[in-house]
Structure 1
Amino acid sequence: MGKTIVLLDIVAFFSCFTCLFMPVISYNFYNKEYYLARAFKVYMHVPEETYFNYTLPALSAFTLAMCWPLKVNYAGSIRDFFKAKYEQISNQLRPHPYLGIQLVVVGIVMLYISAFLPSSVRFIGVLFYFSSFAGLLYIYLTPTVPYKKTLLVIIPLFTLGNALQTGMFTVVTYMSMTLISFFFIGNKASFLKKILLFITGIFLMILLQTVKGSFRKATWKGEYQGSKAVLFQELVSRQLGRSDLWTAKAFFPVYMRTNQGVNVSLVMERIPKRQPFDGGTYLFESVAAAFVPRFLWPDKPEAGGAFNMEHYAGVKIRGWATDIGPIGEAYGNFAVTGGIIFMFLLGGFIRLAYRKVLKVSIKTPIVVLWIPVLFYQTVFSMENDTLQVLNSLIKSAFFMYIIYKIYPVLFKPGTAADTNKVQVTDDYTSINYNPNI
């Protein structure tokens, strides 16, 4: 952090946290003997050895393929790549102080309009809203923006306020994880500060999970008529004041929300004992669906966990959402060895997409600021499914292309000469960096 964008590292960390670390907690604390885990059926459903003999090498392969370093041939550090991009972007945006504000305003307006759009095109409205976070980065890097510091405070506060109104904190949590390293590029931070930031982030996520259920219960049923911000503050204060904050019972909501291993273990318990491995029948159809528009394939598979949970795990879900994740799909289709290979290929695809963004940024530096739009749903890919990961990347890239064609100034706002020569190859990035840019 401070040297490069840690997007792929965050994806790897979140995947290992939900599919490896939390299952360890489950086997040792929240197992079938623990009354809450037994009551909600959120214990691990296969033996520990069986589970980790698959998931550990599968996630190792996924992480290896995804995080294989892009080597830099300039005095040895990729930090100069992003520092160079930032300086280019800042120079290009200088004559356009309102571009970022325009993106944010359009995104916020589309957030409210999207609620009235048909479900088939609602994702377009969502992408416009996600674009407001690219707009936030535009504002951050534009030296001529009026009231810049005020805007950099108000926009995140609006996002938090919207989360409080809806009770949905997904965007706040995962977009924060995606954006955080952007604000540290070029800023030196000691290792201690990075550790403190990491610990603070983890603590806030845990705190959010412990109060989220009570907050939704009070607001979604329409019984609470007061300020939701005040209610949330009261719940947080009450939670922090609990003497049993770190007990097993108090931590259970966090465990229940973050242990993706439970769903994977359901698949491993069911397949091949009760049904044979799928052999890629539905998964390959899902992969194809990510590349074909719905108007050409009206009944193509839809992203979401309802089908996967019933088909692979034998669990019908109604009124809430969960999924088996790509790692569960990989096992359900190809068993242990095939599942490991599939996870390696998926990690390689994500790395390839990220590398493509870097390559495009050679001629269009500002594309770097759209990484949160492109990869937002990839951050929590282990909670989704393969279709969702591929679908979000492809649709987001196509959305950016259309925006570029309609309003190219968003991507090429300046014509200043680029003195940085950058080459991205299959295995390295070479940079000739002029520090006087």
Structure 2
Amino acid sequence: MKTLFNTNFNWPVFLGISIVIRVIFIGMSWISYFSILLALHQFILLFNAIGFVIPVRYLFGAFMCVQFFVGPSLAYNGLDQYQYFHYKMKIPEHEYFAYAIPAVMSFILGLHSFAGKLNGEIIDEKQIILFVNRNRQLPYWFIGIGFVTSVVAGFFGSELAFVFFLLGSFKFIGLFLLVIGTRNLKILPLVLVISSIVGSSLVNGMFHDLLTWTIFIGSVFAIKYKFGLNIKLIGCAAFIFLVLTIQLLKASYRDATGSGREEAGVETFSKLYAEKNRDKSIFSFDNLAPSNVRINQGYIITNIMYNVPALVPFSNGKEMYQVFEAAIMPRMFAPNKLNAGDRTIFMKYSGLRIRQGTSMGLSSLGDAYVNFGIAGGCVFMFLLGLLYSGILNIFYKKSRDYPALILFTALVFYYPIRPDCELQTILGHVVKSCFLITVMILLFKSSFRVEKAPTQ
């Protein structure tokens, strides 16, 4: 728990921002304000960690707070009126937060249990440099493998394609190795890797991976170059601008490219930005308010809590069994297991109707409630956080012999840190990525092992 409370936390800054928020949102209810303060605590912890670690735990906390605290608080305190009726909060504010606050905080407490000094997130730069010096071509092999597997993944079925999808992320690990392990910045690999994630995001109209990998890449650069406060503030402002721009244009971009009116690419995105910003009002309140749903996974939780148990009984673990079966068992042994993007479970427990091809998830918070109710859901969320902390601890212990392993935590957790995803897909990603990394280490043990120099 030291990583939550016994840190060099800037309490005067926290207090100052808290007062500003209270003044700006003078009419905000106290329970919403309390949830905003909890979120602010996580944001400051994340900001402080940049430059020292790959901040998996703090990213988990910050992302959960955005989706389950910040978005819902804004919705309950005025922005709900700007939402399409399907996206409105379904139950009273106090009922929602009576579950959301303890459940999210239980998850965060689990994440930071047995965390040591952020075990599994601290890079041993000297050992990485030694590793790269001994394997000078390996980062380029990782980048090459990442590009090739990203291209061929679409030619395989979903189960095998997922393996290639994971291998496609090796290009980021290769980039991390080059950034940390070499003296001079390698511009060409950097441009190629960043261009690839920008290009794939524009082609698919999906930007989560772009934003997540941007954070991880920025974190690695901050570790390498020891970013100071001013650089971190500029980077934070630039990232917020990027997020807001994407959220405001995403729907229009998908509509334009999906209908065939425009080709997917930077040109179309820039054109839409120019059209939206003709009168310099792209970031006006009228544009921002309806976009609150993009950071409000809470509306789905309210639909679940409205529906269960009043209309649909608690699952009492049956649905969770399906989740773990889908995450762990290969389809050849469980042919009827849940599919990624399964609409049946979502519609049954949320009561929301979604079109074929639309993917929405109950989220880990929703699955916990559906199976175990409020109290049991909080216990489950704590255990889930504890599971993730345990995995990070395993990476920490193994990295003593295999220092490059720490960089692979980004590959394991870049998808699970998204609070809006289905739990079976999240856990499936964790299981398969850990299995893939284990096989890689076993096959190439001598290449990845770096012996520590004996102490004098």
Class of the TM-score when normalised by the shorter of the 2 chains: 0.7 to 0.9
Q: Normalized against structure 2, the TM-score is what?
A: 0.83
What's the counterpart of residue 111 of structure 1?
150
What's the counterpart of residue 259 of structure 2?
221
What's the counterpart of residue 63 of structure 2?
14
2: CA distance, partners of 1:81 / 1:158: 25
Q: Kindly provide the amino acid, as one letter, of the partner of residue 347 in structure 2.
A: E
- Unaligned 5+ runs, structure 1: 73-77, 422-433
Q: Kindly provide the amino acid, as one letter, of the partner of residue 175 in structure 2.
A: L
Given that 2:179 and 2:224 are in contact with CA atoms closer than 8 Å, whether structure 1 keeps it comes out as no
1: CA distance, partners of 2:150 / 2:316: 40
Given that 1:312 and 1:329 are in contact with CA atoms closer than 8 Å, whether structure 2 keeps it comes out as no
1: CA distance, partners of 2:359 / 2:454: 46
2: CA distance, partners of 1:420 / 1:107: 35
Superposition RMSD in Å: 2.5
Q: Kindly provide the amino acid, as one letter, of the partner of residue 120 in structure 1.
A: E
Given that 1:374 and 1:392 are in contact with CA atoms closer than 8 Å, whether structure 2 keeps it comes out as yes
Matched, 1:362 2:404: no
2: CA distance, partners of 1:179 / 1:151: 13
Q: Kindly provide the amino acid, as one letter, of the partner of residue 363 in structure 1.
A: D
Q: Kindly provide the amino acid, as one letter, of the partner of residue 89 in structure 1.
A: I
Q: Match for 2:416 among 378, 385, 388?
A: 378
What's the counterpart of residue 234 of structure 1?
271
What's the counterpart of residue 419 of structure 1?
453
Moved more, 370-379 or 154-163: 154-163
What's the counterpart of residue 115 of structure 2?
70
What's the counterpart of residue 3 of structure 2?
none
Q: Match for 1:315 among 342, 346, 352?
A: 352
What's the counterpart of residue 209 of structure 1?
247
Shift of 1:363: 1.1
Matched, 1:82 2:99: no
Map 1:240-251 onto structure 2 (within 5 A). 240-251=277-288
Q: Match for 1:286 among 315, 323, 328?
A: 323
What's the counterpart of residue 52 of structure 1?
97
User: Which has the bigger relative contact order, CA under 8 A and spacing at least 6?
Assistant: 1
Could you report, residue by residue, the CA deviation over 1:238-295 in whole angstroms, capped at 9, with x for unpaired residues? 4455443333431145312221001100000001111221111111232244222222
Q: Match for 1:333 among 351, 367, 371?
A: 371
1: CA distance, partners of 2:190 / 2:156: 29
Shift of 1:133: 1.0
Matched, 1:24 2:76: no
Give % identity: 25
Q: In structure 2, do the counterparts of structure 1 residues 102 and 394 end up closer, same or farther at CA, with 3 Å as the change threshold?
A: same
What's the counterpart of residue 128 of structure 1?
167
What's the counterpart of residue 430 of structure 1?
none
Given that 2:67 and 2:295 are in contact with CA atoms closer than 8 Å, whether structure 1 keeps it comes out as yes
What's the counterpart of residue 176 of structure 1?
214
Q: Equivalent residue of 2:416, what SS?
A: helix
Q: Kindly provide the amino acid, as one letter, of the partner of residue 227 in structure 2.
A: A
Shift of 1:67: 2.6
Given that 2:325 and 2:337 are in contact with CA atoms closer than 8 Å, whether structure 1 keeps it comes out as no
Given that 1:58 and 1:343 are in contact with CA atoms closer than 8 Å, whether structure 2 keeps it comes out as yes
Given that 1:305 and 1:384 are in contact with CA atoms closer than 8 Å, whether structure 2 keeps it comes out as no
Q: In structure 2, do the counterparts of structure 1 residues 337 and 105 end up closer, same or farther at CA, with 3 Å as the change threshold?
A: same
Q: In structure 2, do the counterparts of structure 1 residues 362 and 79 end up closer, same or farther at CA, with 3 Å as the change threshold?
A: closer
Q: Kindly provide the amino acid, as one letter, of the partner of residue 452 in structure 2.
A: D
Q: Normalized against structure 1, the TM-score is what?
A: 0.86
Shift of 1:384: 1.4
Q: In structure 2, do the counterparts of structure 1 residues 68 and 278 end up closer, same or farther at CA, with 3 Å as the change threshold?
A: same
Q: Kindly provide the amino acid, as one letter, of the partner of residue 106 in structure 1.
A: I
Could you report, residue by residue, the CA deviation over 1:21-72 in whole angstroms, capped at 9, with x for unpaired residues? 10011111222xx2x42x3421100000100011011111111111346335
Shift of 1:411: 2.7
Q: Kindly provide the amino acid, as one letter, of the partner of residue 82 in structure 1.
A: I
Given that 1:326 and 1:386 are in contact with CA atoms closer than 8 Å, whether structure 2 keeps it comes out as yes
Shift of 1:324: 1.6
Q: In structure 2, do the counterparts of structure 1 residues 80 and 335 end up closer, same or farther at CA, with 3 Å as the change threshold?
A: closer
- Unaligned 5+ runs, structure 2: 1-49
Q: In structure 2, do the counterparts of structure 1 residues 65 and 420 end up closer, same or farther at CA, with 3 Å as the change threshold?
A: farther
Given that 2:120 and 2:409 are in contact with CA atoms closer than 8 Å, whether structure 1 keeps it comes out as no
Given that 1:209 and 1:253 are in contact with CA atoms closer than 8 Å, whether structure 2 keeps it comes out as no
Matched, 1:61 2:100: no
Shift of 1:81: 8.5
2: CA distance, partners of 1:181 / 1:408: 27
Q: Equivalent residue of 2:401, what SS?
A: coil
Q: Kindly provide the amino acid, as one letter, of the partner of residue 311 in structure 1.
A: K
Given that 2:119 and 2:392 are in contact with CA atoms closer than 8 Å, whether structure 1 keeps it comes out as no
Could you report, residue by residue, the CA deviation over 1:103-154 in whole angstroms, capped at 9, with x for unpaired residues? 1111111111111101221101101111111111122233288x82222223
Shift of 1:408: 4.3
Q: In structure 2, do the counterparts of structure 1 residues 262 and 283 end up closer, same or farther at CA, with 3 Å as the change threshold?
A: same
1: CA distance, partners of 2:126 / 2:274: 42
Q: In structure 2, do the counterparts of structure 1 residues 166 and 420 end up closer, same or farther at CA, with 3 Å as the change threshold?
A: farther
Q: In structure 2, do the counterparts of structure 1 residues 92 and 336 end up closer, same or farther at CA, with 3 Å as the change threshold?
A: same
1: CA distance, partners of 2:224 / 2:410: 19
What's the counterpart of residue 266 of structure 1?
303
Given that 1:305 and 1:324 are in contact with CA atoms closer than 8 Å, whether structure 2 keeps it comes out as no
What's the counterpart of residue 141 of structure 1?
180
Q: In structure 2, do the counterparts of structure 1 residues 263 and 79 end up closer, same or farther at CA, with 3 Å as the change threshold?
A: closer
